[in-house]
Amino acid sequence: MAKISVAPVGHILRSLRSQRIAFWMLLAELVDNSLDAGATTIHLDYRGNRLTISDNGRGTSRPQALATLGEHRSHSSTILGRYGIGAKDALLALGTEQSTCRVETVNAGNWRGFEWRWIDIAKSWEAEEPTVRPSTDGELGTKITVWPLDRDPNSKQRESVIRELGYIYSPAIKKGCQITIRWKGARGTPEPIPRWEWPALDGELVDTTIDVAGKVARVRCGVIHRDVKERRYGLHYVHGPRVILGGTAKGCGAYSPTRVCGVVELDGSWALAKNKDAIVAHADELYAAVEEAIRPVLIRAEQQGMAMHSRAFEDAVSGMLNAALLNANAKAKRDRGDKRGTRQPNGRGGRHKRARKEQDGNTFPARGYAGSVRVHHERLGEDAGIGEVKWPNIVMNMDSPFVATVYASQNVEATYALAAGLLSSFHSLEEPDGQMRLRNVIRTNNTMADYSAAMDAILKGSPSAATDAAE
């Protein structure tokens, strides 16, 4: 029976390059190739309309593998490469199917050069053999160049490249690998990519080894110090020279990862997904084992996070109260003048600019304490109402169901209203004529306690209880 061709056609190239992958991820695919070849120095050079990546690795005897979809060449140092797809995706996405790619590599005493255009290969899926000659002194490693480029990163994207490559390859850089980059238009020495550093930790660090289905992982994890704001929190899964799953909650179970920083180092037996951003087999078992190992850290981190969250919430309420006290600056005025003229008429016909009278009583006595009032939450008992004032502290009672509900929802406005009511009651005194007068903060009576109990009863929905509490 006659055979027919089922070779892929050129449209597959367009399909491959249509993947919108971040610029730093494309560069990472090429860096992975260099690391798999045992390179300890890797240089990215973005010049004119071309990109070159060069290294001091072992090179390859088959440079055409970079143009052969699905072909993968392993070295004794290979850890990351597996499917023979990532570098092709990167070269296609950095350029186009019309772009030219060139590989120069030194391996086993020979220099080999191979050049191709994707569009030409797609016509017959054939190419000229590589050029081969004996290598000379000083020639080593591999250099890959692609031009013209279809991706031109702006300054913000360049910052992202430096930041992300420094994070992803922090394990390799820590072990002495040097990765440098020089951007288009830049002069002088290439810029070294700095590695990501662990944030300062608080308390004891978990450092243990776990075994999952015969595969081994080392787990190190701690609580981020309360004074540190870390954007790369969570767990960082490392495979060989790079992070393959970063800043994730996988392995934290139902706990929040926001105050946790940990590294899970996988041995070489773990299989990775095509883009080296996921674990292929036994991933769920791994995450469960990690959670069990770091649970003491997760509990401490959650407690710290709750305390910090509570402090921020109480700071917001306290800030609103102190701002209000700053405005309580004078006796209220009334009966603004409505006649023309001044106190000594001068014929100019202006209105009185000051009121004729001021209200009786003193200015608000707490004004001098603006900035020192502090709201916080405690358990005061079920009979303590919504709270009490221990000047200059306003203590909200967590044993009041309403206060507890408002606190749980972190409702700043509602807590401010309750605290303001307590503060107002604390500074009020009923006089024989039935009027309320502002009193000095050093005096005490039952007004505030009565108010607190009455408000608590009202919020519980019992008007009769509110009346009884007030009486």
Three-state SS for 170-206 is HHHHHCCCEEEEECCCCCCCCEECCCCCCCCEEEEEE
Same domain (yes/no): 185, 275: no
Distance separating alpha carbons of residues 72 and 85, to the nearest angstrom: 8
- Whether 240 maps to a domain, the answer reads yes
Top pLDDT among 278 and 133 is at 133
- Whether 132 maps to a domain, the answer reads yes
The average pLDDT across 373-402 equals: 88
Give the 3-state secondary structure of residue 428.
Answer: strand
Contact 365, 440 (CB under 8 A): yes
The average pLDDT across 357-369 equals: 50
Chain Cα centroid distance, residue 2 = 60
Positive or negative, the CA dihedral 270, 276, 277, 278 is negative
Distance separating alpha carbons of residues 15 and 230, to the nearest angstrom: 38
* DSSP conformation class of 236: E
Over residues 324-357, the pLDDT tens digits come to 877 654 444 455 555 554 455 555 555 555 554 5
Contact 231, 309 (CB under 8 A): no
Residue 165 has pLDDT above 90, yes or no: yes
Same domain (yes/no): 162, 270: no
* Phi, psi torsion values for 57, nearest 5 degrees: -80, -170
Given 136, 167, 192, the domain boundary residue is 192
Same domain (yes/no): 48, 164: yes
Same domain (yes/no): 188, 115: yes
* DSSP conformation class of 346: -
Over residues 148-157, the pLDDT tens digits come to 998 888 888 8
What H or E segment, with its residue span, contains residue 315? helix 283-327
Given 157, 192, 227, the domain boundary residue is 192
Q: What percent of the chain has pLDDT over 90?
A: 38
Same domain (yes/no): 250, 372: no
Contact 247, 232 (CB under 8 A): yes
Burial class, 471, CB count within 10 angstroms (exposed 0-12 / middle 13-18 / buried 19+)? exposed
pLDDT of residue 436: 45
Given 142, 167, 192, the domain boundary residue is 192
Q: What is the DSSP string of 49-66?
A: TEEEEEE-S---S-GGGG
pLDDT of residue 404: 86
- Whether 50 maps to a domain, the answer reads yes
The total number of structural domains in the chain stands at 3
- Whether 86 maps to a domain, the answer reads yes
State the residue range of the domain holding 419. Answer: 365-470
pTM of this structure: 0.68
